Amino acid sequence: MPNRPIHLAAAVPLGTLVAAHKANESNSLQYLAEVAGGALGGAVGGLGPDWVDPPTSPFHRGVGHSVAVSCVLTGLASQRIDAWQAWLREEAARFRCLQYVTVDPLLRAFYGICHVLICLVSGALVGFLAGWGSHLALDFGSVRSLPLI
Ligand SMILES: [Zn+2]
């Protein structure tokens, strides 16, 4: 049965790769932030099903590991993910513009941090989905497999 280190070893690289693929039109800082967000989102998504269904026994799999629930939620999210990322990138660009026109150094730093954080969230969205999927794929291959519902 895959455990936490195995889930992390699969989810973090997968989340990073998916975020890098989705961010390939971004500038360098935005790209790096989205890829880092993909790694973080992948880690959270890769551990997420076991946070929903804590592994206190071999029969711990419930809603968090449900094939049907995960397919529905991932399907809905994947239809909207491009729009969410586009909106986040617009917001990040807005903060970047504010950063360039502001004279106050503290405010400039604040806008720059907002820009990076929004890019991180954009990457974390796709990384999370990839990480969650990798967790279910690894658990599916185990002896207990996954519950349908
Ligand atoms: Zn699990």
Q: What is the pLDDT of residues 64-115, one digit of tens each?
A: 888 888 888 888 888 899 999 999 999 999 999 999 999 999 999 999 999 9
How far is the centre of ligand 1, averaged over its atoms, from the C-alpha of 80 (Å)? 26
Establish if 148 belongs to a structural domain.
Answer: no
Establish if 126 belongs to a structural domain.
Answer: yes
How far is the centre of ligand 1, averaged over its atoms, from the C-alpha of 10 (Å)? 13
What range defines the domain where residue 108 resides?
Answer: 4-140
Q: Which own/partner contact pairs does 141-144 have at CB distance under 8 Å and 24+ positions apart?
A: 142/1, 142/2, 143/1, 144/1, 144/58, 144/59, 144/61
How far is the centre of ligand 1, averaged over its atoms, from the C-alpha of 85 (Å)? 28
Establish if 145 belongs to a structural domain.
Answer: no
Establish if 42 belongs to a structural domain.
Answer: yes
Q: Compute CA distances 108 → 4, 8, 90, 114, 122, whole Å.
A: 40, 36, 18, 10, 21
Distance separating alpha carbons of residues 86 and 76, to the nearest angstrom = 17
pLDDT given for residue 59 in this prediction? 67
Establish if 81 belongs to a structural domain.
Answer: yes
DSSP letter (8 states) at residue 148: -
Structural domains of the chain, count:
1
How far is the centre of ligand 1, averaged over its atoms, from the C-alpha of 140 (Å)? 9
Establish if 74 belongs to a structural domain.
Answer: yes
* This prediction's pTM: 0.88
pLDDT in tens, 21-49: 999 777 899 999 999 999 999 999 999 99
